[in-house]
Chain A
Amino acid sequence: MLTCLKFVVLLLLLSSRSCDGLQFNDIDEEVELVAQSSRYGSLWPLPQKVQLSDVSFKLTTSSFRIVDAKESSAGPSCSLLQNAYRRYYDYIFENAKKSWQAKGKRTGPSELGELQVWITSADSECDGYPSVTSDESYELTVNQPFAVLKAPKVWGALHGLETFSQLVYKDEFGTKNINQTTISDFPRFAHRGILLDSSRHFLPIKVILANLETMAMNKFNVFHWHIVDDQSFPYLSRTFPQLSQKGAYHPYTHVYTPADVKMVIEFARLRGIRVVPEYDTPGHTQSWGKGQADLLTPCYAGSKPSGAFGPVNPILNTTYDFMTQFFKEISTVFPDAYIHLGGDEVDFTCWKSNPDIQKFMEQQGFGQDYSKLESFYIQKLLNIVSTTNKGYMIWQEVFDNGVKLKPDTVIHVWKGNAQQYKNEMANVTSSGYQTLLSTPWYLNRISYGQDWQGFYKADPQDFKGTEEQKKLVIGGEACLWGEYVDATNLTPRLWPRASAVAERLWSAKDVTDISDAFNRLSAHRCRMVERDIPAEPLFSSYCPHEYKGV
């Protein structure tokens, strides 16, 4: 079985290189193109420690329950868990409301009647927000008379419920079964993110929520919301309503109201997901200028303003007054301890053209080095944000330009080829900063064939450095930039490709068997489809329940 599959994978790689003009992948006709089953079933991402046995128990719609363990520190008042119980009950029984139910049936001898959820630490964190230091571990024991899910905090319990639901399978009579199992699990990295870009294209709330739901199925825990950029400013600010009024694609249909943002944050919290907003400056701010006069630098053509605008104008006090007020609002709207401040790709052409800026450069003694001006701006911005008691993340350029950073700053690496990003990771960590990797996971870049394998093989700790340096890698993010993506194609483009990243960031370092991954991921993607998520196929195959939402 295994040799057969390895053969398939090999041929796929060949054909993706020579695909031009090939009608079909030239696969030997003897090869069966169906994924084989893994000994780990459909578990994704693979837990740290799994012991499976052949003994199986039945689960029935009528009698199975997910309940709080008596000893649990979270009780019926913990709505986060109560909601999760209902959600996973529905997933386990494929929306049981629709199906026929036998009533009054009692639990038989080979039946599993209960999953008891036991939050072991005194503070369950039920009403809190997840953070980068949250304990996400859990232990799951499936045995008779009942299964037990133990977790120090609700965050681990959420992951454990997902794992439990992944252990349930249907036998040939349609009965739900689960095998006797012991799992002990925790994430390899604390920061496991997905970036969505709601500026290049507006993403309706429904799409964002569906993807948070899917993130939870993959144990992602950070939604990096690249909410504004050059193209549009959909965030409705209470302090500066003109920003979206003038800067959104449409002031009513293409904006996120405070209520929308709240809904996203709470929906994410209930799934153990942090929402880290990004307000990228001083570049990538064209849309900001529409609703905030004098914020952007006027560009000059010769001695006259050309009418065009460049990055944020770093020489005016009004700029910093604006930023102070704006980030004060942001820091109260978004509960997460971090804000992403961007700082990437600043184009100096416009600054260079502006005589006032030239004069300022001279006054400050910056000479012709405009990266000093950029650093000047970022420094002031970081000081402003620090006063809000938020930590910050920034794209790697800010570090590269030598801006002074707080020790808890997270540097987000996104540039270059494999060698370059590894060097960057080494540099950042040798300077003692925490870092996040995205370079190999720009999922907006598509190509023909099974590119998930490339995502799967990248490892954020694969660079030259000490153990101490490796510990500074807090995780990674899969980025789906929005130039070519909106609600029409976002979900199938993201899933299951992002799932490959999810396993790399959650599972143990040595989980690298690509053919086993193929088998489990094929099953995992069918599960997402069954849960109404249009996750695209890995290769020729079928799912028992195909996507119906056409």
Chain B
Amino acid sequence: SIRIIKKYTCLNMNYLLLIMIHIGVGLHAVGGVWPMPQISASSPEQYPLNPEAFYFEYGRQSEAQPGCSVLDAAFKRYFSLIFPDYFPGDNLSVCAGQASLKAETVWGALRGLETFSQLVYQDDFGSFFVNKTDIEDFPRFQFRGILLDTSRHYLPVQAILKTLDAMAYSKFNVFHWHIVDDPSFPYQSQTFPDLSAKGAFHPMTHIYTQTDVQRVISYARLRGIRVLPEFDSPGHTQSWGKGQSDLLTPCYKGGTPSGAFGPVNPTLPSTYQFIARLFKEVSSVFPDSYIHLGGDEVNFFCWKSNPDVRAFMQKMGFGTDFTKLEAFYMESIVNITSTLNKTAIVWQDVFDYHERIPEDTVLHIWKGVPYDYTKELSRITKAGKRVVLAAPWYINHIAYGQDWRKSYTVQPLNFSGTEEQKKLVIGGEVCMWGEYVDATNLTPRLWPRASAAAERLWSDEKQTSSVEKAFPRLQDFRCKLLRRGIQAEPLYVGHCRHEYQGI
């Protein structure tokens, strides 16, 4: 909760973390906060903020104290976000006032700092103000993700970090890193360096070194963002095959290998040894307790053509049902990740074909129009599985006009099911697949379109059901993004006080 009052009065010992924000006191209109907080009350009473006198302080009762890396860094960051063009030396009159921010964890404190920074505004003379405000806030869904695809186009680390900044501004908390796929394998593995040496677009310039990955993870952590890596198999693995022989299934034409390769070869023990070693490394590199295993769009054409695969099918009693072979493979790798103490997230295809996966596996819904995905939500939650919804937020699909409105009006819980089932929807994800996206157009294509989904995932649905009411708030938020150096595109005609100055 955030409380901005003239005099600090409220002390609540139940909270573990307390931050005092010292502000100058004195009078002005409040700008909106995006995504909209759950409960907020603001008054027209204004307090000026003096950059010379303003500071953040850990509350005396706070569990976190100076030395807390997340908050120390956040104070520094948010000071310049609040006072974007402040040069030391302006000497204004100082009068003391205080705002307090209480949160159970540093992660809540980060969200609160973001909210506070959005409450501050400048008048025409450049003075900073904040209105008397009381906010209590928490997210509607615990999983609020953005997927970036670094395989179809390589994204320089700088572009990823910029995205993480913008994610924090919209209170996203999961960076789903679809790091490898058919076109390229930019992840530089310590165990299998050939994967990127042979599978990246370029072995030196188009890779993520371990240092790069660490940098992304720690940058994300400081902003309260989890990094969820995806190593999608058995399909979408063409680039893996270049640096790991015998991993992919050789396709046959007539009685001889055609020279082409299909999905991962599920019949060889060496495959599982490789996956175990790779995932062991991945599990230690990425601290998040979840790992995304993919499992989507497996094409059976090549498996069918291969006599060894067919023999294996017979041996296992799968008949000609290749979904059983796929299930066999997915089950094996989910088990591998379980032994590594990681929870698996997989694309919905895995559920569609096979239900013998651990109870805690999360299903990721990506297919179809609302009619299809609401049915899928019902089915999967009925089976007691948790789900993340991505289908309505494939924002790599662009269209002329204000398509953010469609993203905004999604109702993730509008499917037939019990209250218990609804609770199994842990959140949603905005996907920016990379066929047509690289560093040249990623940021304006992602923002502020993704922010529409951010509000859906964070805010109360009843309070945010009107697109018309959201429109001016989102326009205002987009100008805030510009002011913070995020190249967010316009929603419609109009202007921002500070336009983007790049090209």
Contact = CB atoms under 8 A, between A and B. Distances in A.
Interface of A: 19-21, 23-30, 33, 200-202, 204, 206-207, 210-211, 231-232, 249-250, 253-254, 444-449, 482-493, 529, 533-542, 544, 546-550
Contact of A484 (B202, B435, B492): B492
A486 B500 contact: yes
21 contacts: A23-B296, A24-B181, A27-B182, A30-B251, A207-B503, A231-B494, A253-B499, A446-B400, A448-B398, A482-B493, A484-B489, A486-B500, A487-B501, A487-B503, A488-B443, A492-B444, A537-B438, A537-B441, A539-B436, A542-B154, A548-B156
A206 B202 contact: no
Contacts of B208: none
B313 to A, nearest CB: 20
What 10 pairs between A and B have smallest CB-CB spacing?
A: A489-B444, A534-B440, A492-B441, A542-B201, A249-B495, A540-B152, A210-B503, A30-B260, A489-B489, A536-B441
B342 interface: no
A549 to B, nearest CB: 6
Contacts of B205: 544, 546
A484 B502 CA distance: 17
B490 A484 contact: yes
A203 to B, nearest CB: 9
Nearest to A26: B297
Nearest to A254: B495
Interface stretch (B63-71, B128-136, B367-375): B367-375
Contacts of A492: 440-441, 444
A535 B482 contact: no
A489 B501 contact: no
Given A33-B183, A200-B493, A21 B369 contact: yes
Nearest to A207: B503
B493 A29 contact: no
Nearest to A541: B153
B412 interface: no
A207 B347 CA distance: 41
A195 B412 CA distance: 41
B372 A446 contact: no
Given A484-B492, A536-B441, A542 B236 contact: no
A326 B359 CA distance: 75
Nearest to B296: A23
B23 to A, nearest CB: 28
Given A546-B439, A547-B440, 9 more contacts: A21-B368, A23-B296, A23-B366, A24-B181, A29-B263, A534-B441, A538-B436, A544-B205, A550-B159
Contacts of B501: 204, 206, 487
B493 A483 contact: yes
Contacts of B299: 28-29
Contact of A24 (B260, B435, B488, B503): B435
B238 interface: yes
A542 B156 CA distance: 12
B464 to A, nearest CB: 23
B400 A202 contact: no
B269 to A, nearest CB: 23
Contacts of A483: 492-493
A29 B440 contact: no
B401 A484 contact: yes
B302 A546 contact: no
B503 A540 contact: no
Interface in B349-377: 366-369, 372
A491 B503 contact: yes
B183 A447 contact: no
A253 B487 CA distance: 19
A533 B503 contact: yes
Contacts of B489: 484-486, 488-489
Interface in B472-501: 482, 487-495, 497, 499-501
A542 B398 CA distance: 21
A427 B497 CA distance: 46
Contacts of A548: 156, 158, 439
A539 B396 CA distance: 12
